[in-house]
Amino acid sequence: MTTIESNPAVPVPSDPGRLTQPPRRRRPARRHIPTALWIIAIVALTAIVLYPLLWMFSASLKPNSEFGSNQGFLPENPTFDNFVKVMQGIAGIPTWKFFLNSLLLGVGAVIGTVISSSMAAYAFSRITFRGSKVLFAAMIGTLLLPFHVLIIPQYIIFRNLGLIDTFWPLLAGKFLATEAFFVFLMVQFIRNLPRELDEAARIDGCGHGRIFFSITLPLIKPALITSSIFAFIWSWNDFLGPLLYLNSPDKYPLPLALRIFNDQTSTSDYGATIAISVLALLPVMLFFIIFQRFLVDGVATQGLKG
Amino acid sequence: MTTDSAHAPAATRTAESGARPADSRRTGAPRPRRRNGDTIAGYVFLSPWLLGFVGLTLGPMLASLYLAFTDYNLFTAPEWTGLENLTRMAEDDKFWSSVRITLIYVLVGTPIKLAAALAVAMLLNYKARGTGFFRSAFYAPSLIGASVSIAIVWRAMFSTDGPVDGTLNLFGINLGGWIGNPSLIMPMMILLAVWQFGAPMVIFLAGLKGVPAELYEAASVDGAKPWRKFISVTVPMLSPVIFFNLLLEMINAFQVFASAYIIGSGTGGPGGATNFYTVYLYTRAFANNQMGYASAMAWVLLLAVGVLAFILFRTSKNWVHYAGDSK
């Protein structure tokens, strides 16, 4: 900053002055790179970034005989055989079962996250109570806590409760708001709502329960949507949790099923492995295409990681 | 610089409010008096989180600290062994190799990823309109990059007959497949991390939008070249966002698991090249049932992350410029 301010000799155009002067060149000087060059750069970059995804779709349509022989981008004889084969399932379990398990876990994660995180966020942002500052600091602290410090004792707890090989260890944390990102996101959102609404409701005799349900929840809908989408996608992609807690293949969600495919068939059956990867990513990609604004804006304004 | 605080980017405020949590000033309303029933109501609303915090975070942290000083195999009671886990760690070659691999990944991969994120954010910031599609397209990998699907695709792309080697062959480079080659696993993992530059990019972009255009105009009037503007305007104005991204991305990088596990087929192979810290911790705990040793490893990881965060926070006073500061 000092370099700019320490040069009073140069007349820096001030705002009122600019209004009266003839219109200056409005575009800042930094825009001097020709637009054509910018377009070429950005298109090339897009091609590189999206290449793995496009390659994945293309490769899933290649018959197995083309893996190795046809290094080209497009399949010579496109076929849906890989998908047909992969839908038959693996280890005697049909593939739709893995989708169902992932769906159940995802829906459970969304319900748990929305309920528990919004309650905690309301308490932190709208109720003044003893110990709230300390607990809020603790909540922020857990944002930076490496998850691996917790997995062993958590595993022991759920093992002692006899919950290994059930969905409960994977859902319990969601219903107890252990993912501080969501609480933080909602706290930020609630803090920007005018407090006057709460005060007015309070004067009308509303308690916190009523204010929470009738005023806060409807107003933070965008934050609830963003949280729901992230909660679903993170649950859908989660690998370590199911790896720790689920033993029976008929309870496996997609990431664990993918791992069996990868271990058992990757050397002999590339096509099938890639095809199930495509199927597993498809719901996430659809979610992303539909809700991209919510997701990207959520990241931009809250610093939320994807 | 009086306009600074009005133009402070959203992400800057996020980074700041971490330091000043109970900031009620922004709402403008005076902090309301604490009412009698409020403490009860507060804890009622907080009860799910509090139960999770005590039962699934704080309690396990302490339990893990205790287990770090024991020998525990899940089936017989933990046996107190004092510092034996630490001394065994010091002599464990696989432990040290996992530390080395993870540190290279964090200390090389994260700066490259953030540099890419900042460069692309600046490229997108050139245009005021019509960049929404690119912003979303570049963000997509961040959402799916840590998934098993992408790890499998990455594996296939870098295999002997995959498209990456195929492309390099066109330029006369023949690496003979990245997957089986221990020295090419790290570049491959770092490429996978850099590919996910979208999340920090979106945050940088929000920060760049908040840098007042007058600063660049003033710098132009002073005759500053683009590079000088970058160093003297962009970097200082973005420093809170850079700090925020650096802290979060480093902590995330320490915890990479699924990609390393899938690419190495869960064995840490080839040649121990995918034996990342978290993969080794998982193997010790859940394949070898050495819960005590693994807990000690978990606490070493926690302390390492803590020291790193501490260093970042301490040095941040020298290079992070908060809008509105007199310095």
**Is there a domain that residue B262 lies in?**
yes
Helices marked H in chain B: 4-7, 10-19, 38-52, 59-67, 84-90, 93-104, 110-125, 132-144, 148-157, 163-170, 182-195, 198-209, 213-221, 226-229, 235-254, 258-263, 277-282, 291-319
pLDDT range class, residue A154, cuts 50, 70, 90: very high
From the CA of A124, how many Å to the nearest CA of chain B? Answer: 8
Specify the pLDDT at position A99: 94
Contacts of A99 (CB under 8 A, 6+ apart): A254, A279
> Which residues 48-77 in chain A show a CB within 8 A of chain B?
49-50, 52-53, 55-56, 59, 67-68, 71, 73
pLDDT range class, residue A192, cuts 50, 70, 90: confident
Overall residue count recorded for chain A in this entry? 306
CB count, 10 Å around CB of A179? 23
- Residue B70 sits at φ, ψ, to 5 deg, of -130, 170
Under an 8 A CB cutoff, do B34 and A129 touch? Answer: yes
Residues in chain A with CB shorter than 8 Å from the CB of B257 are 239-240
ipTM above 0.85, yes or no: no
Q: Of A30, A273, A300, which has the smallest distance from its Cβ to B11's Cβ?
A: A300
Chain B, nearest residue to A8 by Cα: B222
Chain A, nearest residue to B122 by Cα: A30
Structure tokens at B101: 């691999």
Specify the pLDDT at position B17: 40
Q: B123-129: which pairs have CB atoms within 8 A and are 24 or more residues apart?
A: B123/A38, B123/A41, B123/A42, B123/A45, B124/A42, B124/B201, B124/B205, B125/B205, B125/B208, B125/B209, B126/A30, B126/A31, B126/A33, B126/A38, B127/A38
Specify the pLDDT at position A293: 79
Please return the burial class of B273, using the count of CB atoms within 10 Å of its CB with bins 0-12, 13-18 and 19+.
Answer: buried
Using a CB–CB cutoff of 8 Å, tell me whether A213 touches chain B.
Answer: no
From the CA of B186, how many Å to the nearest CA of chain A? Answer: 18
Domain at B293, CATH number: 1.10.3720.10
Using a CB–CB cutoff of 8 Å, tell me whether B76 touches chain A.
Answer: no
Reference B265, options B248, B279, B249; nearest CA is B279
**Is there a domain that residue B206 lies in?**
yes
Specify the pLDDT at position A36: 83
Specify the pLDDT at position A271: 81
Helices A168-175 + A221-237 axis angle, to 10: 160
Q: Of B55, B123, B140, which has the smallest distance from its Cβ to A42's Cβ?
A: B123
From the CA of A125, how many Å to the nearest CA of chain B? Answer: 8
The pTM of the full predicted model, rounded to 2 decimals, is 0.84
Residues in chain A with CB shorter than 8 Å from the CB of B52 are 116, 172-173, 175-178
Under an 8 A CB cutoff, do B265 and A263 touch? Answer: yes
Using a CB–CB cutoff of 8 Å, tell me whether A233 touches chain B.
Answer: yes
Specify the pLDDT at position B285: 94
pLDDT range class, residue B20, cuts 50, 70, 90: very low
Contacts of B164 (CB under 8 A, 6+ apart): B157, B158, B178
**Is there a domain that residue B252 lies in?**
yes
Under an 8 A CB cutoff, do B45 and A258 touch? Answer: no
What rounded mean pLDDT belongs to chain B? 84
Q: A210-218: which pairs have CB atoms within 8 A and are 24 or more residues apart?
A: A211/A126, A212/A118, A212/A119, A212/A122, A212/A126, A212/B45, A216/A118, A216/A122, A216/A126, A216/A190, A217/A118
Chain B, nearest residue to A40 by Cα: B123
Residues in chain B with CB shorter than 8 Å from the CB of A237 are 144, 146-148
Specify the pLDDT at position B47: 95
Using a CB–CB cutoff of 8 Å, tell me whether B140 touches chain A.
Answer: yes
Q: What distance in Å separates the CA atoms of residue B52 and residue A174, rounded to the nearest whole number?
A: 9
Q: Of A33, A129, A176, which has the smallest distance from its Cβ to B49's Cβ?
A: A176
The residues pairing with A94 across neighbouring beta strands, listed in sequence order, are none
What pLDDT, in 10s, does the model give residues B255-270? 999 999 998 887 777 8
Using a CB–CB cutoff of 8 Å, tell me whether A43 touches chain B.
Answer: no
Specify the pLDDT at position A68: 62
Residues in chain A with CB shorter than 8 Å from the CB of B155 are 262, 266
Q: What distance in Å separates the CA atoms of residue A288 and residue A286, rounded to the nearest whole number?
A: 5
**Is there a domain that residue B48 lies in?**
no
What pLDDT, in 10s, does the model give residues B94-153? 999 999 999 999 999 999 999 999 999 999 988 777 788 898 899 999 999 899 999 999
Cα four-point dihedral sign A249, A251, A257, A259: negative
Please, what is the Cα angle at B251 between A51 and A48, to 5 degrees? 10
What is the count of structural domains for chain B? 1
Q: Of B126, B161, B294, which has the smallest distance from its Cβ to A68's Cβ?
A: B161
* Distances in whole angstroms, Cα of residue A299 to Cα of each of A129, A302, B139, B234, B253: 30, 5, 10, 21, 18
Domain that holds residue B310: 93-319
Of residues A11 and A274, the one with the higher pLDDT is: A274
Under an 8 A CB cutoff, do B285 and A151 touch? Answer: yes
Specify the pLDDT at position B26: 46
Provide DSSP, A4-27.
HHT-TTS-PPPHHHHHHSPPP--S
Using a CB–CB cutoff of 8 Å, tell me whether A171 touches chain B.
Answer: no
B79-80 and B70-71 strand pairing: antiparallel
Specify the pLDDT at position A170: 96
Q: A158-166: which pairs have CB atoms within 8 A and are 24 or more residues apart?
A: A158/A245, A159/B74, A163/A245, A164/A245, A164/A247, A165/A245, A165/A246, A165/A247, A165/A248, A165/A251, A166/A245, A166/A251
Q: Taking CB atoms and an 8 Å cut-off, how many pairs form between chains A and B?
A: 345
Specify the pLDDT at position A144: 86
Residue A262 has pLDDT above 70, yes or no: yes
Cis amide bond preceding A242, omega within 30: no
Type of residue numbered A290: I
From the CA of B112, how many Å to the nearest CA of chain A? Answer: 15
Residue B200 has pLDDT above 60, yes or no: yes
